[in-house]
Amino acid sequence: MDVTIYEVAKRAGVSIATVSRALRGTGPVAARTREKVLKAVEELNFTPSRLGVSLAEGRHAANGIVFPDLAGPYYTEVLLGYEEVASELGRSVVILSTKGRTKVGDLVKDLAGRVDGMLIFGHTVPEPLVAELVRLGVRLVFVSREPLAGADTLRSENTASARALAGHLAGHGYERFAFLGAPLTSQDDVDQRWQGVREVLGGAIEAVDTRHYTVECGYDAALTLLRGEGRPEAIVCSDDEVALGALLAAEELGLDVPGDVAVTGWDDIMAARHARPALTTVRQPMRELGARAARALDELITGARDTPRHLVLTTELMIRSSCGGHPAAT
Amino acid sequence: MDVTIYEVAKRAGVSIATVSRALRGTGPVAARTREKVLKAVEELNFTPSRLGVSLAEGRHAANGIVFPDLAGPYYTEVLLGYEEVASELGRSVVILSTKGRTKVGDLVKDLAGRVDGMLIFGHTVPEPLVAELVRLGVRLVFVSREPLAGADTLRSENTASARALAGHLAGHGYERFAFLGAPLTSQDDVDQRWQGVREVLGGAIEAVDTRHYTVECGYDAALTLLRGEGRPEAIVCSDDEVALGALLAAEELGLDVPGDVAVTGWDDIMAARHARPALTTVRQPMRELGARAARALDELITGARDTPRHLVLTTELMIRSSCGGHPAAT
DNA sequence: GGCTTTTGTGTAAGCGCTTACAGAGAAGTG
DNA sequence: CACTTCTCTGTAAGCGCTTACACAAAAGCC
């Protein structure tokens, strides 16, 4: 790691400019000269310093990603899709989690100084800081948030998918519903799901707050809900983790799912597929979200595109057994 | 992002050395002078270039991490623990996945040029390249592999935990066992688990290959195993994903778990807890693995320690319902 | 008051690499 | 042969920041 381009040049008997040209193919180099350079590189086991290259080029060849936490499988899948495409494009990925961190502003700015652009999940970064980053010309792509002027946004479809899910549930003949996991922000993913479900079920469904979208919070809220008056026949959950909590609550209360109460989730994470009963849920194309985000960011970084774009990816309704019986199916 | 230290110095009417000293606190600066500098910094919204600082300091303030994939929740948890401590120590985390990648050597070397040290999972990086990195003085910490000269290793305990698991299973009175997920490498994690289980169950257990440690491969191998002659009464699986596959196979064949066949896993991932029956498994302190790795790497990077160290973290036997009935217990 | 020590600041040299531009030599053309 | 064009190479200037060292002024001490 201590060999510099100067030592290679000396050993090969050429200038550092020639070494650079030979290695990068950025200019004409005689075959004989190239051989001498490559031989010296091999003998000295030289690898160009990333720092030197980046400073001289004025670019990092790296992408950033800011997320609230990775404990939910949702974020992991997006990250994997993102990293895969970033690597294909010759870029490293620098990660930053904001969970439990103070001075998020400083952390995000430090990240911005290390990368050519970044992906931000939803509202992980405070809005004033987002506005500042946009003003500074930082290339940004957002996943899972409403459109924002000056930056790209990418999300999965929510409203129509929620309507399809609610329609399917109604087809089971249920008449009393609850939506577990009230929206935190207007127009965020969960709010759109709530809107879509409500369009179909109307006054037959009521939203219940869970405080966070975790298994634990879903369990607590479901326990309270299922112990109360007017128990719903079906619970539509904001996401799979909350739904897993609801399954635990039903189990503890000795309620059969879906016989006594049906439960649905959102995301189609691994645990949802392996729970019993297997969760009926909506699958988000999470890897594709990450992959598309990396490509969008590439367009912004290379200048292939300079106008913000807002994309919506399609979802898939995964009917399993938690919503009710399906004659002659699965 | 375009303001340089020169512009700040000009605006504050001091030299760039004074700006640097004022911002970093590396030398005496008069209070009056410091105020002028801070005012200029604020007016110009200056943030020091990470590249400039790193090149001048000769360090990146970043940690690398190389993993085969993040699809398994195991890797995610380790990454989270790692990132959290790295951030506390003022370091960013640069990730690299090797799954499906060609030219892993080039990718790893590029990563090495961006960070002050890195964490590598098991045998993700080919041994010759590992030897070369060690020789080049790259600070390395390995997780989940046997001790290696010249680098730190960190793993969870396997053999004694496997003995405890096997002892518990034997206590259920089973007499025929299978180990699903044969070891790939001598002394790797799975091999140690296999050794521990075999010490207790001896000739009553036989290893079955799964090719990979995934749900799908576990399912295929379990299907074959359970359809064959001499069906085992209990299946000890290499890890939770393989165990989830075994649960799917049993379900498909109409076998009751644990009535007809008991199943155990390893890791205690979310899906293992939410499966039904809930998996008996061994919990690895995955976040702590990551956190300890980051701290170990910090010691190597700062020079607080220069001799390699090999640590083993304790695990916890999680008895749930997939191994058999437990009177008056959950 | 003279000498020593401390505080504060600026200059210059790098850290490792890229590349514009100038110049030399070789090749091509009329 | 003279002129033009092409190939190849080296020099010098930066990219943005840190800091050793020299020097000046102020403070402290006898």
Q: Which residue, among A81, A295, A110, A224, has the nearest Cα to B47 in the 3D structure?
A: A110
CA atoms within 13 A on the CB side of A72: 23
Query: What architecture does CATH give domain B159-284?
Result: 3-Layer(aba) Sandwich (3.40)
pLDDT at A261 exceeding the cut of 70: yes
Residue intervals in chain A for CATH 3.40.50.2300: 62-156+286-314, 159-284
Distances (CA, A) of B327 to B132, B278, B289, B319: 56, 16, 34, 12
Answer for the pair A183, A242: CB distance below 8 angstroms, yes or no.
no
Neighbours of A216 (CB within 10 A): 15
pLDDT at B170 exceeding the cut of 50: yes
pLDDT band for position A230 (cuts 50, 70, 90): confident
Under DSSP, the state recorded for A208 is E
Question: Each residue of A211-229: pLDDT tens digit?
Answer: 988 999 999 999 999 999 8
Comparing every residue's Cα with the C1' atom of nucleotide D6, the nearest one is: A28
Report CA Rg, chain B. Answer: 26
Domain B62-155+286-313 has CATH 3.40.720.10: no
Chain B closest-CA separation from residue A202 CA (Å): 32
Which residues 80-109 of A have a C-beta within 8 angstroms of B?
80, 83-84, 87, 92-97, 100-101, 107, 109
Determine, for residues B274 and A244 on separate chains, whether the beta-carbon distance falls below 8 Å: yes
What are A132-139's contacts with CB under 8 Å, separation 24+?
A132/B45, A133/A108, A136/A112, A136/B1, A136/B45, A137/B1, A138/A112, A138/B1, A139/A297, A139/A300, A139/A301
What is the spatial distance between Cα A77 and Cα B63, in angstroms, rounded to a whole number? 22
Bond from prior residue into B258 cis (ω within 30 degrees of 0) = yes
pLDDT band for position B330 (cuts 50, 70, 90): very low
Using a 7 Å cut-off to protein CB atoms, list the covered nucleotides of chain D: 7-12, 14-20
Distances (CA, A) of B236 to B75, B128, B200, B210: 21, 34, 12, 13
C-alpha torsion angle, residues B96, B83, A112, B302 (rounded to 10): -90
Answer for the pair B78, B53: CB distance below 8 angstroms, yes or no.
no
Token pair, residue A170, equals 């109604």
Q: Which residue, among B246, B177, B250, B252, has the nearest Cα to B210 in the 3D structure?
A: B246
pLDDT at B86 exceeding the cut of 50: yes
Closest-lying nucleotide for B32 based on CA to C1': C8
pLDDT band for position A163 (cuts 50, 70, 90): very high
pLDDT band for position B184 (cuts 50, 70, 90): confident
Predicted pLDDT at A134: 87
Strands (E), chain A: 62-67, 92-97, 117-121, 140-143, 152-156, 177-180, 205-208, 234-237, 262-264, 281-283, 310-313, 316-318
Q: Cα B26 to chain center, whole Å?
A: 37
pLDDT at A329 exceeding the cut of 70: no
Distances (CA, A) of A144 to A37, A147, A312: 49, 9, 9
Using a 7 Å cut-off to protein CB atoms, list the covered nucleotides of chain C: 7-12, 14-20
Superfamily for domain range A62-156+286-314: Response regulator (3.40.50.2300)
**Amino acid identity of B95?**
I
> Torsions phi, psi of A259, nearest 5?
-55, -50
Candidates B97, B110, B247; nearest CB to A83: B97
**Higher confidence at residue B150 or residue A252?**
A252
Indicate yes or no: strand C within 7 A of the C-beta of A2.
Answer: yes
Question: Each residue of B280-316: pLDDT tens digit?
Answer: 999 999 999 999 999 999 999 988 888 889 999 999 9
pLDDT at A58 exceeding the cut of 70: yes
pLDDT band for position A73 (cuts 50, 70, 90): confident
Which residues 259-278 of A have a C-beta within 8 angstroms of B?
270-271, 273-276
**Amino acid identity of A238?**
S
Q: Please, which residues have CB within 8 angstroms of residue A227's CB and are 6 or more apart in sequence?
A: A253
Question: Each residue of B33-71: pLDDT tens digit?
Answer: 999 999 999 999 899 999 999 999 989 999 999 998 766
> Torsions phi, psi of A229, nearest 5?
-70, 155
This complex has an ipTM of 0.88
Predicted pLDDT at A70: 64
Predicted pLDDT at A71: 65
What is the spatial distance between Cα A30 and Cα B71, in angstroms, rounded to a whole number? 47
Predicted pLDDT at B249: 97
Q: Please, which residues have CB within 8 angstroms of residue A126's CB and are 6 or more apart in sequence?
A: A104, A105
Token pair, residue B318, equals 């999680």
Predicted pLDDT at B325: 85
Residue intervals in chain B for CATH 1.10.260.40: 1-43
Under DSSP, the state recorded for A279 is P
Distance B115 CA to C23 C1' (A): 41
> What is the residue-averaged pLDDT of chain B?
92
Q: Does A137 touch chain B (CB under 8 A)?
A: yes
Averaged over B153-176, what is the pLDDT?
A: 95
Strands (E), chain B: 62-67, 92-97, 117-121, 139-143, 152-156, 177-180, 205-208, 234-237, 262-264, 281-283, 310-313, 316-318
Task: List the CATH code of the domain at A5-48.
Answer: 1.10.260.40
**The most confident of B28-32, B143-147, B243-247, by mean pLDDT:** B243-247
pLDDT band for position A238 (cuts 50, 70, 90): very high
Indicate yes or no: strand C within 7 A of the C-beta of B29.
Answer: yes
Answer for the pair A125, A68: CB distance below 8 angstroms, yes or no.
no
Predicted pLDDT at B209: 93
Residue intervals in chain B for CATH 3.40.50.2300: 62-155+286-313, 159-284
Q: Does A114 touch chain B (CB under 8 A)?
A: yes
Tokens 């800081």 found at: A129
Give the class (CATH, top level) of B1-43.
mainly alpha
Question: Each residue of A10-31: pLDDT tens digit?
Answer: 999 999 999 999 999 988 999 9
- CA angle, B165 as apex, B162 and B167 as ends, to 5°? 105
**Higher confidence at residue B149 or residue B64?**
B64
pLDDT at A328 exceeding the cut of 70: no
Question: In chain A, whose CA is at the least distance from the CA of B100?
Answer: A84
Token pair, residue B25, equals 């606190």
Q: Does A244 touch chain B (CB under 8 A)?
A: yes
Tokens 């899910």 found at: A165
